[in-house]
Amino acid sequence: MPPKPLLDPSQLDLGKVIVPKEEIYNWNPHRHEFQMLDGLVYVDYSTGLLAGYRDVRADEFWVRGHIPGRPIMPGVLMIETAAQLVSYYAMTATKRHDFLAFSGVDNVRFRGQVTPGQRLLMVGQMLEIRPRRCVGQTQAFVDGSMVYEGLITGMWV
């Protein structure tokens, strides 16, 4: 049974982008195929909660080979999307522009598949931001159903 959602997806206005892709990547250094977030729809620095999305496209690099005839988004790309969400929050909350490296993932569960044409909604809550590391709880949803959960750790380098 999935855990309680950090944010109720039905309560988010997915049509109201508050942080567009270009602004996300003023903070996150990822480029080209590894820009995993298309926009943020919710950020609350008082609670540590945020939500962003990724529109999964049929022309992405992994579609042809994972799985031919039935493409399923690799779980590792869901984890990377979660890491970029956590990175954006930690960097903007602290105003640090040094690199926040992905250093760990724990308690990951994949609860459903994600396919081209779907919108992956990634939500997170920062649990800790320290001078050397940060930790965020993350969950992802497609059409209101939880498809992923995991704890992301980053280390400033």
The pLDDT of 19-36, averaged and rounded, is 95
Active site residues: 66
Domain holding 17, by residue range, is 9-156
Looking at residue 129, which CATH number applies to its domain?
3.10.129.10
**pTM of the complete model:** 0.96
Longest Cα separation, the chain: 46
What pLDDT digit, counting tens, does each position of 101-151 carry?
999 999 999 999 999 999 999 999 999 999 999 999 999 999 999 999 999
Domains contained in the chain, number: 1
Domain assignment present for 43: yes
Tokens of 108: 């990951």
pLDDT of the residue at 2: 85
If we measure between CA atoms, which residue out of 1, 149, 18, 146 comes closest to residue 88? 18
Place of tokens 């959960």: 149
115 within some domain: yes
Tens of pLDDT, residue by residue over 34-75, are 999 999 999 999 999 999 999 999 999 999 999 999 999 999
Is there a contact between 148 and 82 (Cβ–Cβ < 8 Å)? yes
Residue 60 lies in a domain: yes
* Span 65-89, pLDDT tens digits: 999 999 999 999 999 999 999 999 9
- Please check whether residue 122 lies inside any domain of the structure: yes
Q: Residue 4: inside a domain, yes or no?
A: no
Does residue 1 lie in a domain region? no
Is there a domain that residue 96 lies in? yes
